Structure 1
Amino acid sequence: MTTTKDQLYIDKVINGDASAFAYLVDNYKNMVFSLAYKMTKNKEEAEEVSQDTFIKAFKNLSNFKGDSKFSTWLYRICYHTTLDAIKKNKKNNYTFEINEVTYNQIQSVETILQGIERKERSVIMDKCLMKLADEERSILWMFYYDELSLKEIIEVTNLSEANLKVKLHRARKKLLTIVEKNIEPEMIENYGRK
């Protein structure tokens, strides 16, 4: 499942060429940092988690069997390393009470978001994502931004398929409620009338 080029460098590292690991770090550092940052909401902490992730990956590279993509295996290490870091620093945790979200509310928010310029929409979504609990934000991030399949997210999180689908659905509803509450009223009036 892993790419031939990745496997070549993995084999080199396992056979004693530690410098070959630099290729894997260069290739996946943005992915790892991005996940860590989205989960921790803190640049310094994300950098530390990224470093810890690559150290763990290096030490455990011989355990990588190639059943899944290397990126999925690395993503899983990063996900669990970040969760451990978050547990140590509970002060950054946000929670949000959700009210029942109706289908019409979801539709109206999506209609408004479609009218907002792409760049504005991206900024709004990033701010709203940061208000979700860590697990919800990371699941949405993996599914929508990193475009991991459900199977890959299950590998990363160790959730059952049914549990993942429920969490993904709830996180999406919660995000839409947050978006609805955080879009400036003028934007809703302006774009909602179109």
Structure 2
Amino acid sequence: MHFNHRHISEDQYLVNQVLKGNQQAFASIVRQTEGLVVQIVFKMIPAAGDRQDIVQDVYLKAFSSLAAFKFQSKLSTWVGKIAYNSCLHYLEKKKLMFLPGADEQENGLDQLNKHQELFQHSAEKALSQKELAAILTTAVRMLSPPVYQTLIILYHQEELSYAEIGEITSLPEGTVKNYLFRARKALRQQILSGYKKEDL
């Protein structure tokens, strides 16, 4: 896997500074990664009151584990993985399902490369960008299982690659692609169910 050398060198500088006791360097890491961390936590954790505690826990874990970071990925991806695993641990303790069940995972694999469009072209023409954004936001929140929400945000909003999402979630790239395919399909159905097709 290839990464931007500029990012790697910046990451190495920041990590080295933190390990030397530079608190401002860790504040820079937080600023650079908090958008990704918040997106993961807010999409995975249903209880609003627990989200801030989990975000703080993510950065405590990152700080205490920084010396073990091997620069085999971008620092932001590594922090994102800590956030994802922290959320999974929380969900497991609460006995809340995040990933699809085994039966659901086995269905639809042969259709992965079919029907890739999120909306019909007529829908995009008929709705303004603002209307479309509002509809999308609502529809994403309703996706189930919740992993679909997270993957849609990581891929389409955070613009992470399949490989980076795989690193964060510990899911094989093929599974990430499959889940994203089904998430898009569910998202399209969710949107169409709320509007008459002739209106779109």
Give distance in 1, aligned partners of 2:50 and 2:121: 33
Give distance in 2, aligned partners of 1:124 and 1:42: 23
TM-superposition CA deviations, 1:103-127 (whole Å, max 9, x none)? 88x6764531442111111111111
Aligned residue for 2:153? 141
The 3 A distance-change label for structure 1 pair 115 and 46 is farther
Shift of 1:128: 0.8
Matches within 5 A, 1:100-119: 109=120, 111-119=122-130
1:72–1:155 Cα contact (<8 Å) kept: yes
2:136 is equivalent to residue 125 of structure 1: yes
Shift of 1:91: 6.5
2:151–2:180 Cα contact (<8 Å) kept: yes
TM-superposition CA deviations, 1:119-141 (whole Å, max 9, x none)? 11111111111111211111121
Matches within 5 A, 1:89-108: 89=94
1:9–1:21 Cα contact (<8 Å) kept: yes
Which letter does structure 2 place at the counterpart of 1:81? S
Give distance in 2, aligned partners of 1:162 and 1:5: 30
Give distance in 1, aligned partners of 2:132 and 2:60: 36
- The SS at the match of 1:60 is helix
TM-score (norm 2): 0.77
2:178 is equivalent to residue 166 of structure 1: yes
Matches within 5 A, 1:25-64: 25-64=30-69
Q: Which moved more, 1:134-143 or 1:33-42?
A: 33-42
Give distance in 2, aligned partners of 1:26 and 1:173: 34
The 3 A distance-change label for structure 1 pair 16 and 34 is same
Which letter does structure 1 place at the counterpart of 2:158? D
TM-score (norm 1): 0.80
Q: Which moved more, 1:158-167 or 1:120-129?
A: 158-167
Q: Which runs of 5+ in 2 are unaligned?
A: none
Give distance in 1, aligned partners of 2:192 and 2:46: 22
Q: Which moved more, 1:173-182 or 1:108-117?
A: 108-117
Q: Which runs of 5+ in 1 are unaligned?
A: none
Equivalent pairs: percent with the same residue?
Answer: 27
Which letter does structure 1 place at the counterpart of 2:185? K
Matched residue pairs, number?
Answer: 183
Shift of 1:163: 1.9
Aligned residue for 2:26? 21
Which letter does structure 1 place at the counterpart of 2:172? S
- The SS at the match of 1:147 is coil
